[in-house]
Amino acid sequence: MRLRGLLDPGGDLDPEPAVLVAGYAALLHRLTGENDLADDPTFAELTERVRRNPPDPHDPDPELATRYRRLLTAAIARPDTPISALPILDETERDTLLAWSEGPDPGMPDASVPQLVSEQVARTPDALAASDATRRLTYRELDLAAGRLAGRLRDAGVRAGDLVAVVLARSVDLVVAQLAILRAGATVVPLDPTNPPARLHQMLDQAEPKAVIASQDQRLPGTTACVLTPDAVGDDVLDTVPVHPDQLAYVTYTSGSTGAPKGVMLTHRSLASTVAWARRVLGLTPADRAGMTASPGFDVSVLDTFTALTAGASLHAPAGDLLTSPGDLQQWLTAERVTVTFLPTPLGETMLGLAWPGSSLRRLHTGGAVLHQHPVAGLPFDVLNLYGVTEVGVWSTAEPVEPGRDGVPSIGRPIDRAEVLVLDSRLEPVPAGVLGEVYLGGVGVARGYLGRPGMTADRFVPHPWRPGARLYRTGDRARWRPDGTLGFVGRTDHQVQSSGGVRVELGEIEAALTAHPAVGQAVAAQVDGRLVGYVASEFGVTAADLRDHLAERLPRYMVPADFVVLDRLPLTATGKIDRRSLPEPPKRATTAPYEPPRTDLERELVRIWQSVLGSDRVGIHDSFFDVGGNSTSLVQVYGHLVRIAAREVSLVELYEHPTIAAFAEHLTAGAPAAVAPAAAPARPDRAKLARLRRGRVEGAARD
């Protein structure tokens, strides 16, 4: 048996064939998820299954020899061990993985974030601190305005640790309010004023803030808290109140899988740590001008505000509608001479395709979704790809993205004082290259969810080997790359099953789609049991072109049945792709006019197709894969055909003759189909598209 060749010649292991096969099956399951071992049998049980149902012979991968011997040795010694507990890592590999998991620790700041802002006021009192379309404040003026508002909060009964909601658009007022709340020792609860009133009420009702800072025209139905405007003035100018590092700094609301908002509680220790890292990695100085481009209800808004203020940089707020127009936003960034800004990944990907003549931008940091492509060479700024979750201080990994390279950028390495682990179901590290779930730890870990102890216990779990420490279970899937960077794959809740029960990771389909030069952005979804690919393209890409492109990169069962081509993908208020607003795919897509069956054989084939595809009309010139079919549903068609065909047929013949007319002609003639395929629509020249993309930037640089 070929598997025996993976063992050391003359070694102690000489197991029977069933044990050899069971060991290899267990190893593949641990490394790739192959084989249906969801019940986690013991090795002895798995061996008995192999004896009852021997699998087909296969060629083992010689690269797995070391892991195979390690696992098989342990399995033979302890046959009652569950498959998931068999060892596949040695100590050297484990130590390497744990070293990759730890971010550097240059030391925590000595002061809290509001104290650091006060120190900056003393250093540069007359420097610009914040501006919007109607107002500009120096650091001295910002300090005075925040002190007066903090005094008014104190007059309203706000004390250290109390929650204060902020319902303001991007503006100087927002900066004043956030600083005033921290200065009073209270906790910021940022809320986006564009939220529907019912949702604002839901979050305010759950948070029960002591006060709310909002504009005069903001609708706040049902709130019983004291409502202040950002220009409210107290009897005294309140000095910065000292805070403990474990005191809450802010509570950010985020939606969970149920759609109900949940408040994430972040401490001053978490905020100070991430601010210090961001200030260092962005290289912020008083000469920088930072864009306030994050949603005011987004945790990045709080982080970016205080990263800039503690560095002495100035904050610049755009009008809200600019974030929906990449061209207008780019003009604003250039006109305001913004040097550093954050953009949500979907918006950032669009902006990377623009030309940037005359821009002062030197650093664009992006995160919140998968960055599918490297930027083209010639951009005047660097790109920093970020990954993180609200529950662990906004960001946990970062990677400078090298321009002009192929492939999907990594999400990088752990940031300062962060821990990033990729674990299996038993909370054990998985080998490099193997998919696992991302668990995040370190200084940034949140206290939990406000008023939700059950949900907190479910998502914030004890560290498996550090007593007293906690990890946040993200639900994200990733793998370590050989260079010690992380490759993000997708959400565990975005893993779907094809109609044949095969597991499909939507993130992998999206990455393959965006590798097409005519595609700007892409989303994959499962609609009514069928995979659908949504793409944004300005080059007239066709479904046939996308299908051919994916067929070169993905298994057939991962190629979507339908494609929807849009000018742009819908975005949420925070700049992420709005999956709920994606249009329904067409009920059927075809490349040929409908023509009904003409013969008994064609009528029987149409009946089979319609039954398998769940369609009420299929024409004889429709391609099987254009009307919702895929490889797994084709197998179902094959099962029907073997019972009615006058001769033996193969799956290959079905693939080669994907229309009713062509396959019927093939069956009756026993020869290649005489029916000519429909004329293929003109497809864009892919090399030319790539040159066009590069030309936007290179042409602007020459101009």
Residue pLDDT, tens place only, 685-696? 544 444 444 444
Give the residue among 11, 119, 125 at the shortest CA–CA distance from 69: 11
Q: CA-to-CA distance for 573 and 579, rounded, in angstroms?
A: 13
Give the residue among 236, 241, 225, 214 at the shortest CA–CA distance from 152: 236
Give the residue among 175, 163, 353 at the shortest CA–CA distance from 252: 163
- Tell the CATH topology of 498-581: GMP Synthetase; Chain A, domain 3 (3.30.300)
* pLDDT average, residue stretch 336-358: 88
pLDDT number for residue 574: 67
First to last CA, the chain: 67
pLDDT number for residue 642: 59
pLDDT number for residue 585: 83
Instruction: Give the per-residue SS3 of 624-646.
Output: HHHCCCCHHHHHHHHHHHHHHCC
pLDDT number for residue 698: 40
CATH dotted code for 113-267: 3.40.50.12780
How many other CB atoms sit within 10 Å of the CB of residue 313?
Answer: 25
pLDDT number for residue 3: 64
Strand partners, 573: none
Token pair recorded at residue 67: 């892991």
Whether domain 416-488 has CATH 2.30.38.10: yes
What is the chain's mean pLDDT, rounded? Answer: 83
* pLDDT average, residue stretch 107-128: 95
Length of the chain: 703
CATH class as words, domain 600-669: mainly alpha
Residue pLDDT, tens place only, 591-641? 567 889 999 889 999 998 888 777 778 899 888 877 777 655 665 676 677
Which stretches within 297-404 are classed as H helix?
299-311, 326-335, 345-352
Q: Are 245 and 273 in contact (CB under 8 A)?
A: no
Residue pLDDT, tens place only, 256-271? 444 467 899 999 999 9
Residue 578 pLDDT class (50, 70, 90 cuts): confident
SS3 content of the chain, % helix, strand, coil (to 5): 40, 20, 45
pLDDT above 70 covers a percentage of the chain that reads 82
Q: Is the pLDDT of residue 667 over 90?
A: no
pLDDT number for residue 140: 97
Residue 402 pLDDT class (50, 70, 90 cuts): very high
Give the residue among 647, 643, 671 at the shortest CA–CA distance from 657: 671
Give the start-to-end residue ranges of the domains of the chain.
2-88, 113-267, 416-488, 498-581, 600-669
pLDDT number for residue 55: 62
pLDDT above 90 covers a percentage of the chain that reads 42
Q: What letter would DSSP give residue 173?
A: H
Q: CA-to-CA distance for 561 and 538, rounded, in angstroms?
A: 22
Residue 496 pLDDT class (50, 70, 90 cuts): low
Q: CA-to-CA distance for 546 and 533, rounded, in angstroms?
A: 9
DSSP 3-state assignment of 525? strand
pLDDT number for residue 42: 79
